[in-house]
A and B are shown apart, each in its own frame.
Chain A
Amino acid sequence: MAEFLVVPALLAYGEAAFAYAGELRGPGLAGRLATWGVRLGWLAQTALLIGQGVSAEGFPWGTWAGALNLFVWLVVGAYLIWGCTPRYRLLGLTVMPVAAALLALAWAGGGTALDEGDRSGVVLAAHAVLMLAGFAGLMLAAGMALLYLWQERRLKRHERSVLRVRMPPLDALDRLAARTVLGALVVLTLGIGVGAASFERGDFDAAMVVTLLILATYATLLVLRHEGWRGRRAALLNLTGFALVAIVLPLTHFAG
């Protein structure tokens, strides 16, 4: 029964994604509907994850689809913390369509079903959760970078609607993206540290190389930002880093 909770979660996320597009015409009902969509969807997905956790004997999110399910929950949860405030509401426009699409993919791949889960130990489970939480933070940061580039383009082109459509301020997006990357890197480093506890000689694989590459890319971003690489260049580097997370990491991690 619990596995059917994916349907209301998906519907609510989808509704939120559409409603955020309505918010582009100006703040109002669409934005509030979107916010409620996010909240209700997240609650439904939380109940689904609890159901999966209770019914499984091991870690229920070890497959690529299961990991995607947990990843979406973490992304939306992180977004809920502050993204739903009216000032940053349009961030949902970059986050919720992706979240809805990924949850649909997780559903199609069987990641929302109730099963026994794999028999990974607690350490590996903690490693997986921390890594996914770190990547969720990086996805939010990428959403901010995307929004930054969009808002910058509008300002550069002197779009007439620049004051009518309420976008988050440019400088705030830049700062928040950097802080989110910093937070995500801390969580990722913790995750890598926990994973290293069960590391054995010969375990080193392509996924680990890419993970370290991601860590290095974002660390470089933070260092360069400190040296003056802010704004557009930082946003582009942020998106490059996330391309590694979104495209290369799943291939290297789950291809086998």
Chain B
Amino acid sequence: MKLTLAGVSHHKAPIELRERVALDLETCGALAERLEGEAVLLSTCNRTELYLVQEEHAEELAVATLAELAGDRGDDLSAALYRLRDEAAALHLFRVAAGLDSLVPGEGEILGQVRTAFEAGSVGPFLDRLFRQALHAGRRVRLETAINESPASVPSAAAALAQQVFDDLSGRRVLVLGAGKMSEATARNLVSRGADVAVVANRTLAHGEDLARRLGAQAIELAAIGSELERADVVVSATSASDHVVTRDGVATALRARKGRPLLLVDLAVPRDLDPAINELDGCFLYDVDDLEAVVAETLSGRRTEAARAERLVADEADRFREWQASLDVVPTIASLRALAEEIRDSELARAGGRLSESERKHVESVTSQILAKLLHLPTIRMKEAAAAADGVVYADVVRHLFGLEEEERRR
């Protein structure tokens, strides 16, 4: 069986092309069902990839399927299309599942997308093994490296810090001060991790309403944030005010009503919006833009190290898959050899059957079974090892020739 992958991704394909070949999960499943053999279609905003397992013409079929999706302008496709086979295709899927091929390396969403694509696909033993191992590789990378905990920007660092304080951000209330791009980017990052932007406060209410509408929040004027401070879990501030918008006393007053709940404050403005003395208050954690940039610089250096570790883990998983795939070459030979041995044993036992009592027959059966198992154990292991070292086919041919397995199969 040959594994073939054809696909386009953010590396080479512009968004216009990716849009044309992008499919929803239901269509992916239906298309995979329509194709012969085993097929899984992985379609996300950054990639569309078709994994096919067939004896022949898999590559042509995969390319033709993607070309059909791309429509009339199939020429665009050939420039962006990549095709991989067997080991290279498996390694690619493992890297994808681990987030190493993503736009933001290490991002976690892709693992779930690979899982749903696998579940929707038309899967047989080969793709089942491949995708399960890819998911395992993805989980290992997330578990054993910190690659997905290394934010690459100030807004994502702010969101990651919120998770260090609160763990799960689901239902956590975010108060946004200012309606600029930095406020929005940070708020969106928090929302992507489950937080709920409740209020946008801005000096000009109309501007605040725009952002509030986009984030599904309520807009208020900056002067009215007193009671919101009592309820918020995270405060993100990036106004253009020339003085502190939130003072230490203001937060201290709010803390009395908070019953000890922690409060994370992120000040992205220069000059700063939030009084630095707020950080001295019990349960308050204030980060300004310099603090966040220092955290990002530290994690970026860590991310490179983590990415190298993740690549090693993925290569390790790909090796295991290659060994399993190689063992498939010798499995039919091993099965034939064992069948031949069993057949000889059965016929000899049948011939001797009349001369043996019931207990003697059982004893002879047990002994001959053990002899066969012991005799065939080492050749089986050696053939699997040879398969892993790429000599499997040669060994299998020799065994087939020495034991006359082909003649036996024809006779049967």
* A162 at the binding interface (Cβ < 8 Å): yes
In terms of DSSP, what is the predominant structure of the interface of chain B?
A: helix
Roughly how many angstroms separate A162 CA and B161 CA in the complex, as a whole number?
Answer: 8
Bound CA–CA A155/B287 (angstroms): 9
Q: How far is A234 from B283 in the complex, measured between Cα atoms in Å?
A: 11
B283 & A230 in contact (Cβ 8 Å cutoff): yes
B151 & A163 in contact (Cβ 8 Å cutoff): yes
A230-B283, A231-B282, A231-B283 known; A162 and B259 CB under 8 Å?
Answer: no
| A172 nearest in chain B by CB position | B167
Note all chain B residues with C-beta closer than 8 A to A231: 260, 262, 282-283
Q: Answer whether residue B33 sits at the interface, using C-beta atoms and an 8 A cutoff.
A: no
Residues from chain A with a CB closer than 8 A to the CB of B161 are 155, 162-163
Indicate if B380 sits at the interface (CB-CB under 8 A): no
Known contacts A86-B143, A169-B165; is-contact A229 B260 (Cβ 8 Å): yes
Cβ contacts under 8 Å, A166 to chain B: 146, 149
Given known A163-B299, A171-B165, A172-B167, contact A155–B285 (CB-CB < 8 A): yes
Q: Binding site of A, secondary structure by majority: helix, strand, loop or mixed?
A: helix
* Closest residue on chain A to residue B283 by CB atoms: A231
**Is B349 at the interface (CB under 8 A from chain A)?**
no
Which residues of chain B are within 8 angstroms of A151 by Cβ–Cβ distance? 164
Q: Quick one: given A163-B295, A164-B150, are A170 and B260 in contact (CB under 8 Å)?
A: no
Cα–Cα distance between A164 and B302 once the two chains are bound (Å) = 7
Q: Which residues of B contact A171 (CB under 8 A)?
A: 165-167, 262
Whether A27 and B144, one on each chain, are in contact in the complex, defined by CB atoms closer than 8 angstroms, is yes
Contacts across chains A and B counted by CB atoms under 8 Å: 89
CA distance A231 to B262 in the complex (A): 8
Task: Tell me if A170 and B144 are in contact (CB < 8 A).
Answer: no
Q: Min CB distance, A174 to chain B, in Å?
A: 8
Given A27-B144, A228-B259, A163:B157 Cβ within 8 A: yes
Indicate if B26 sits at the interface (CB-CB under 8 A): no
Given contacts A160-B294, A162-B164, contact A228 B260 (CB under 8 A): yes
Question: Is B342 interfacial (CB-CB < 8 Å)?
Answer: no
CB pair A162–B295 under 8 Å, yes or no, is yes
Interface residue total, chain B, C-beta cutoff 8 A: 35
* A229→B282 CA distance, assembly (Å): 11
Q: Taking the complex as formed, is B291 at the interface, i.e. its CB lies under 8 A from any CB of chain A?
A: yes
Indicate if B273 sits at the interface (CB-CB under 8 A): no
Measured between alpha carbons, how far is A166 from B160 in the docked complex, in Å? 11
Contacts A163-B151, A163-B160, A170-B166 aside, 19 further interface pairs with beta carbons under 8 A come to A26-B306, A28-B309, A86-B143, A155-B285, A156-B279, A158-B287, A160-B294, A160-B298, A164-B302, A169-B166, A169-B167, A170-B164, A171-B262, A172-B167, A227-B259, A230-B259, A230-B260, A230-B262, A232-B283
Residues on B close to A: CB < 8 A?
143-146, 149-151, 157, 160-161, 163-167, 258-262, 279, 282-283, 285, 287, 291, 294-295, 297-299, 302, 305-306, 309
